[in-house]
Structure 1
């Protein structure tokens, strides 16, 4: 059985792979038919991961800066790792389950 930490880590890796496959030019482009650009799907997930890490560490959430679309993968990697580390240190499996679910939904939407 996969632990919440392993599942969240796996989903983070999958989303990062998907973002890398899209490439910088496709991150900004709408997917057509009224669908948002991939960058527009990633940014809310970044904030959710940052908020979850802050909650796990017992600190106030902060706004995630909106960097260039080409930096989204790096931002996701850093914020995802922050959450994995914080949740592991505090034993917050619920945060990891929510993160894995969110990352899985993001990957499918991309």
Structure 2
């Protein structure tokens, strides 16, 4: 029986590589597996250990985070003004973060206003 090789991040936290390459698919899957196993060990019953990363066009999943209520009010108002959803804003911000080098500061450019 062949032993399954652990992916980077599956057994322990990934080592930091300041300014290195963005996270790889194997690293993302490995960390996802490790976090799922911890959650299962803590009694979470609806968690799955992934065999592979979901496709880029997979359906959205609910996810919760905590934000200062004042910030959320400003984000909702700006998203409303721009005709986008808060999900669009969060997805864009997290995509930029995930695609940047580890340790990098992510910068956003405001869209150009037409005159």
Which TM-score band applies after superposition, normalised by the shorter structure? under 0.3
TM-score, with structure 1 as normaliser = 0.27
Task: Work out which structure has the larger RCO, using CA pairs closer than 8 Å and 6 or more positions apart in sequence.
Answer: 1
TM-score, with structure 2 as normaliser = 0.26
Q: Which has the larger radius of gyration?
A: 2
